[in-house]
Amino acid sequence: MFIDRLVQQIKEKKSNVVVGLDPRLELIPRFLQERHFQQQGKTLKAVEEILWDFGKEIIDQVWEIVPAVKPQIAFYEQYGIEGMSAYRRICRYAEQKGLSVIGDIKRGDIGTTSKAYSNGHIGSTLVEGERIEAFAVDAVTVNPYLGDDCLKEFMEDIQEANKGMFVLVKTSNPSSIQLQDLETGGKKIYEVVAEMVAAWSHQALGKCGYSSVGAVVGATYPEQGERLRTLMPKTYFLVPGYGAQGAKAEDIVRCFNEDGLGAIINSSRDIIFAYTKKDQHWREDQYGEAARTAALRMRDDINSHLLQLGKCYW
Active site (catalytic) residues: 106
Binder to a second copy among 107, 227, 229, 299 (CB under 8 A)? 107
Binder to a second copy among 192, 205, 296, 312 (CB under 8 A)? 192
For the CB of residue 104, give the shortest distance to a second copy in the complex, in Å.
Answer: 8
Binder to a second copy among 12, 77, 259, 284 (CB under 8 A)? 77
106 three-class SS: strand
Q: Is 128 in the site for a second copy (CB under 8 A)?
A: yes
Q: Is 57 in the site for a second copy (CB under 8 A)?
A: no
Question: How many CB atoms are closer than 10 A to CB 182?
Answer: 12
For the CB of residue 134, give the shortest distance to a second copy in the complex, in Å.
Answer: 3
203 bridge partner residues: none
For the CB of residue 311, give the shortest distance to a second copy in the complex, in Å.
Answer: 28
Burial 17-31 (b: 16+ CB within 10 A, else e): bbbbbbbeeeebbee
Burial 214-241 (b: 16+ CB within 10 A, else e): bbbbbbbbbebbebbbebbebbbbbbbb
Residue 68 to residue 64: CA distance in whole angstroms: 10
Residue 284 to residue 305: CA distance in whole angstroms: 32
Q: Is 108 in the site for a second copy (CB under 8 A)?
A: yes
The phi, psi pair for 252, rounded to 5°, reads -65, -35
Q: Is 196 in the site for a second copy (CB under 8 A)?
A: yes
Binder to a second copy among 65, 116, 205, 296 (CB under 8 A)? 116
For 55, 171, 194, 198, 203, the CA distances from 295, given in Å and listed in that order, are 15, 22, 29, 30, 33
Q: Is 30 in the site for a second copy (CB under 8 A)?
A: no
Write out the binding residues for a second copy, residues 137-156 only, by CB under 8 A. 143-150
For the CB of residue 216, give the shortest distance to a second copy in the complex, in Å.
Answer: 10
Q: Is 242 in the site for a second copy (CB under 8 A)?
A: no
Binding segment for a second copy (CB under 8 A), chosen from 130-138, 228-236, 279-287, 302-310, is 130-138
Residue 309 to residue 314: CA distance in whole angstroms: 13
Which region holds residue 23: left if phi is over 0, alpha if psi is between -120 and 50, else beta? beta
For the CB of residue 174, give the shortest distance to a second copy in the complex, in Å.
Answer: 6
Nearer to a second copy, 109 or 289 (CB): 109
Tell how many helices (H) and how many strands (E) occur in the chain: 13, 12
Q: Is 38 in the site for a second copy (CB under 8 A)?
A: no
Q: Is 281 in the site for a second copy (CB under 8 A)?
A: no
Q: Is 248 in the site for a second copy (CB under 8 A)?
A: no
